[in-house]
Chain A
Amino acid sequence: MNLADHPPRRGTNPPSFRTMSSARSSRSILPGFGLSLGFTLAYLGLIVLVPLSAAFLKTAGMGLHAFAAAVASPRVFAAYRLSFGASLAAGFVNMVFGLVVAWVLVRYPFPGRRLVDALVDLPFALPTAVAGIALTSLYSANGWVGRWLAPLGVRVAFTWAGVFVALTFIGLPFVVRTVQPVLAELEPDIEEAASTLGANRLQTVVRILLPQLMPSLLTGFALAFARALGEYGSVVFISGNMPMRTEIVPLLIITKLEQYDYRGATAIAVVMLVSSFVLLLLINLLQKWSRRYHAI
């Protein structure tokens, strides 16, 4: 189970978290089981479980009507549409271009490839607020990019397009990093066999290679989508935050908090938490599929 900001790095394919099959019992001669497991559970309990349960318990005490009113108002629906829609769109763009980038990085040596490879991780390392203000200044009407688009009547900053651009930025590494190791491990034998059987290059790529890459592509897409759904810092500067138009769900939660509407904020947070957990489950299944596929 490797849902991550940081998918497995190439060169160090980590095994799954399957228990190691060994003849030794759990009460082994190695000391420290109680201490380490106890500390781990205590840390997890205090830092993760107790706060998370606070959200669910607060919502449970709300009653169905109040909950429905809080999560189904027009403003909230507009925010869902924007968050989910822009995240999906950004995920698709990253899937396509991420595949191209991974393909180029693995298969076409060019000067500076290592530098470019390291640079792909920039959205992971750069603080989201920095990315947010940088993208806003680039795409606003007098920014380096915005000034070319303004005469064409295209506004990016403070519209949903700005949200889409920001989410594309932060999701960029996910597909690249999930596809790269799979691509690097592909043996040329299959392509050569296809070629001897008469396939041209395009047929080989589309009908032989792409299906092999599909599990990792979908995993990368799901990871980018999950990250984009909850993204706040990169988006909140460029989006303009107008209710019903350019308000993303995390911002809506913060706005409700500032108005002391804790119940409303928590209700919306629970909806997002549930969708995050569903996505987490989906990603785990995708990764299991991907591992099974690749073991063949």
Chain B
Amino acid sequence: MAPPPATNLTSRPANAPTPRANRDPAWARRLLTSVALAFLAFFLVLPLVAVFAQALAKGGAYFLSAVREPDALAAIRLTLLTVAIVVPANVVFGIAAAWAISKFKFTGKSILTTLIDLPFAVSPVISGLIYVLVFGAQGWLGPWLVAHGVRVIFAVPGIVLATAFVTFPFVARELIPLMQAQGTDEEYSAVTLGASGWQTFWRVTLPNIRWGLLYGVILCNARAMGEFGAVSVVSGHIRGETNTMPLHVEILYNEYNVAGAFAVASLLALLALATLVLKSAVEWRQTRSA
């Protein structure tokens, strides 16, 4: 076999043969690959398959009836309503935060970004608890809310707020590094050419960030639809009224209606798979247009 090509300081072309010093012995490669794949199959694929298998365990007709049952439909509607409110609100926040942080200089940027990262560090149950402390009947605003007949906790607004808390970093965290990397040159050029602020944003910034924005929206949506712990605390679990899809899954499961629980859960699992597919597609588009 010919000796490997001499190493030079420029990087090798992608299809050059791997130099010998970098290769692991074949037995090690096979062993590690098998270990990795077995680990992933056991911990990832098996639960996923179990969801769909259990959902169809009693047949397709039972599956459809479980999904079309009124409480399940109400849960699906509530989940979609929550997402329809939370995701646009968080998109606006993400764009505003990214614009402020990336296009201007001011002190306190690191504190701001730490605050934006905060929900990732807080347990979902605690995320719900803090809203109960503010809006609950014994909370800060409790007496005022009761006096005005406004229900936040154990009603839809509480669910929306708790979900917004848990999901607002996603869009911001995608946009901030992206807009920082893109800099301000194009926006400055637009302004010097006479564009107003909104024109600059719509016609210069937005097209540049559209893939990052889409990626953030996909992540935000997936988390908002699947959030369980925070919503569980603020929701009150009233069937047909304040149950989102994950909560409905919990109720069915605790009633030993396993097939029904998995039927609704499989819808969420399909959402997860769609999220993964969209995520990969956007990542591929981003590296292509980079």
Spell out A's residues near B (CB within 8 Å). Answer: 1-6, 9, 11-12, 14-15, 17, 19-20, 22, 24-26, 28-33, 35-37, 39-40, 43-44, 47-52, 54-55, 58, 97, 100-101, 103-105, 107-108, 110, 114, 116, 118-131, 133-135, 137-138, 143-145, 168-169, 172, 187-189, 191-192, 194-196, 201, 204, 226, 229-233, 237, 249-251, 253-254, 257, 262, 265-266, 269, 272-273, 276-277, 279-280, 284
Most B CB within 10 A of own CB, among A36, A97, A101: A36
Known A36-B100, A54-B140, A126-B226; judge A119-B233 contact (CB<8 A).
no
A231 to B261, CA, bound (A): 21
Q: CA separation between A52 and B229, bound complex, in Å? A: 17
Known: A131-B47, A134-B51. A116 touches B125 (CB 8 A): no
- Grouping DSSP codes into helix (H, G, I), strand (E, B) and loop, the B interface class, with mixed when no group exceeds half, is helix
Which residue of B93, B140, B187, B188 is within 8 Å of A40 (Cβ)?
B93
Chain B contacts of A15 at CB under 8 A?
177, 180-181
Chain B: minimal CB distance from A122 (Å)? 5
Q: A19-B105, A122-B272 are in contact. Are A128 and B228 (CB under 8 A)?
A: yes
Given the known interface contacts A17-B109, A230-B126, A269-B126, the answer about A116 and B101 at a Cβ–Cβ threshold of 8 Å is: no
Within the complex, the shortest CB–CB distance from A154 to chain B, in Å, comes to 15
Q: Taking the nearest CB of chain A, how far is it from the CB of B97, in angstroms?
A: 4
CB distance from B198 to the nearest CB of A (A): 9
Using known A-B contacts A26-B105, A55-B133, A257-B129, determine if residue A14 contacts B177 with beta carbons closer than 8 Å.
Answer: yes
- The smallest C-beta distance from A213 to any residue of chain B, in angstroms, reads 15
Q: In the complex, A4→B114 CA distance in Å?
A: 11
Contact of B229 among A17, A232, A237, A280 (CB under 8 A): A232
CB distance from A83 to the nearest CB of B (A): 10
Contact in complex: B21, A194 (CB < 8 Å): yes
Contact present for B32 and A103 (CB under 8 Å): yes
Checking A120, A138, A204 against B47 with a beta-carbon cut-off of 8 angstroms, the contacting residue is A138
Q: Give chain B nearest CB distance to A79 CB in angstroms.
A: 12
Structural contact, A6 and B126, CB atoms closer than 8 A? no
List 17 A-B residue pairs with CB atoms under 8 Å apart, sorted by A's residue number. Answer: A17-B110, A20-B105, A47-B164, A52-B122, A116-B37, A116-B40, A121-B279, A123-B44, A128-B124, A172-B44, A230-B124, A230-B125, A233-B229, A257-B132, A272-B126, A276-B121, A280-B117
Contact of A126 among B28, B116, B183, B269 (CB under 8 A): B269
Give the shortest distance, in Å, between A255 (CB) and chain B (any CB).
Answer: 11
Q: How many A-B residue pairs have CB under 8 A?
A: 341
Assuming the contacts A6-B219, A20-B105, A108-B29, asked whether A129 and B265 have C-beta atoms less than 8 A apart, the reply is: yes
Chain B 166-196 interface 0/1 with A at a Cβ cutoff of 8 Å (1 = within): 0011100100111011011001100110001
Chain B residues closer than 8 Å to A105, beta-carbon distance: 36
Taking the closest CB of chain B, its distance from the CB of A199, in whole angstroms, is 9
Task: Name the residue of chain B whose CB is nearest to the CB of A43.
Answer: B93
A250, closest chain B residue (CB): B125
Give chain A's interface secondary structure class. helix
Q: Is B72 an interface residue (CB 8 A)?
A: no
Question: Which of chain A's residues have a CB closer than 8 A to the CB of B250?
Answer: 129, 237
Task: Report which residue of A101, A231, A232, A284 has the largest number of chain B beta carbons within 10 angstroms of its beta carbon.
Answer: A232
Contact B121 A279 (CB under 8 A): yes
Contacts of A2 in B (CB 8 A): 117, 173
Distance (whole angstroms) from the CB of B287 to the closest CB of chain A: 5
Instruction: Report B-chain residues with C-beta under 8 Å of the C-beta of A266.
Output: 129, 133
Q: Please, how many angstroms separate the alpha-carbon atoms of A44 and B20 in the complex?
A: 54
Partner of B124, one of A11, A104, A232: A232
Decide if A133 touches B253 in the complex (CB within 8 Å).
yes
B208 at the A interface (CB under 8 A): no
Q: Which residues of A contact B7 (CB under 8 A)?
A: 188-189, 192
- Whether the Cβ atoms of B121 and A145 lie closer than 8 Å is no
The size of the chain B interface, using a CB distance under 8 A, is 122
CB distance from B212 to the nearest CB of A (A): 9
Partner of A43 from the list B102, B118, B168, B176 (CB cut-off 8 Å) is B168
Q: Which A-B residue pairs are the 3 nearest by beta carbons?
A: A230-B123, A127-B226, A14-B177
Q: A201: shortest Cβ distance to chain B, in Å?
A: 6
Residues of B within 8 A of A54 (CB): 130, 133-134, 139-140
Partner of B123, one of A19, A187, A237, A276: A276
A134 touches B50 (CB 8 A): yes
A137 to B131, CA, bound (A): 32
Known interface pairs A12-B286, A232-B232; A30-B121 also in contact (CB < 8 Å): no
Instruction: Report the Cα distance A187→B19, complex, angstroms.
Output: 12
Docked-complex contact B276 and A26, CB < 8 angstroms: no
List of B residues within 8 angstroms of A32 by Cβ: 99, 103, 197, 201
Chain A residue at minimal CB-CB distance from B126: A269
Within 8 A of A (CB), among B241-290: 245-247, 249-250, 253, 258, 261-262, 265, 268-269, 271-273, 275-277, 279-280, 283, 286-287, 290
